A = this chain, B = another copy of it.
């Protein structure tokens, strides 16, 4: 096990009545809030009215910034930063999924940075201060509701980059699984792939003496998979929605990676696909992860044997390690097919002529990934396998 530092002070408020308790969790000295959200879906569901009512009752002035799109754009972030500075906003409330939360986090990071907020993403500048934010989650997927990270797209340079700091962990996350009952299947299951991917990026490691977190990772993956099948049968299953919502938070809270070297190559490759083609984040992962697995499994086959046995219940009798490992990957692909999420580039209509560009952009002058270090050439081969 490696040394680590871990700090996650996000207050989790979970259950059907969580939003109604919001007044208890907004710091007492907050006077003016930026309400940040996506489209009109929170108005249709009644959530918007409930939030406005609570803020009014708490005598908090509200300035709104809506219009966050999937893969949040730095242009809207810049607009948010300007609004916060011009209006002395003292708290940001993000209502939505991971894109809204990531956009809010980027705004919160930008408010106290004297230059352009995008520099924080490109220059690796350590964040010194951030505006506090809170979250009402409507889509379990990114785990951004308690994570330290935000990922934003620059639509001019076609870069999708991340920024990480404990200052970006929300003060509170209100988690009401009922809000997810009406999600379209595609969002539910792309979210589920994202959740699984957050576990996998931590699970595939060469760090030894990590049996505890191995077990926690495997247990989380099994719970996500089994509840995904419950939601395939019945999207109105509150219990399964609750399990998926909590899994999403745990998966990216940091707990599952304690003391482990993490990989994150698949995310980096996926970001390049999104940057060029706007592909849904979870879908880029269902395309990249199986190809990545097939490319790297021989480097530490024991780990893939574990994955097959303890996540997908592969019976290891009379099989070689290679057969077991490959069966695990096959079962993972089978699961992705069952939940009807694309697993090949062609299913998304993505052409094959930009592999070099994508590989070059994500590896830069070095390599990506830690389970196996991947060069530009490796990334091209993985994309070839994902055709």
A15 to B212, CA, bound (A): 16
**Shortest CB–CB separation between residue A7 and chain B, in angstroms?**
4
Are B239 and A208 in touch, CB under 8 angstroms? Answer: yes
Are B5 and A243 in touch, CB under 8 angstroms? Answer: no
CB-based nearest B residue for A219: B215
Residues of chain B lying within 8 A (CB to CB) of residue A209: 238-240, 242-243
Chain A residues numbered 228-267 whose CB sits less than 8 Å from any CB in chain B: 238-240, 242-243, 246-247, 250, 255, 258-259
Residues of chain B lying within 8 A (CB to CB) of residue A216: 216, 219-220, 250
Are B6 and A18 in touch, CB under 8 angstroms? Answer: no
A7 to B208, CA, bound (A): 30
Point out the residue from B8, B17, B219, B250 that lies within 8 Å of A218, measured CB to CB: B219
Chain A residues numbered 170-212 whose CB sits less than 8 Å from any CB in chain B: 208-212
Are A1 and B259 in touch, CB under 8 angstroms? Answer: no
The 6 closest A-B pairs by CB, nearest first: A3-B15, A215-B219, A209-B239, A9-B9, A212-B223, A1-B242
Q: Counting CB contacts under 8 A, is A365 at the interface? A: no
Are B12 and A7 in touch, CB under 8 angstroms? Answer: yes
| Chain A 6-22 near chain B by CB (<8 Å), digits 1 or 0 | 11111111111110000
Q: Counting CB contacts under 8 A, is A222 at the interface? A: yes
Looking at A2, A7, A224, A238, which has the most chain B CB atoms within 10 Å of its CB?
A7
Are A215 and B211 in touch, CB under 8 angstroms? Answer: no
Residues of chain B lying within 8 A (CB to CB) of residue A3: 14-18
A28 to B211, CA, bound (A): 37
Point out the residue from B227, B246, B259 that lies within 8 Å of A242, measured CB to CB: B259
**Shortest CB–CB separation between residue A210 and chain B, in angstroms?**
8
CB-based nearest B residue for A243: B212
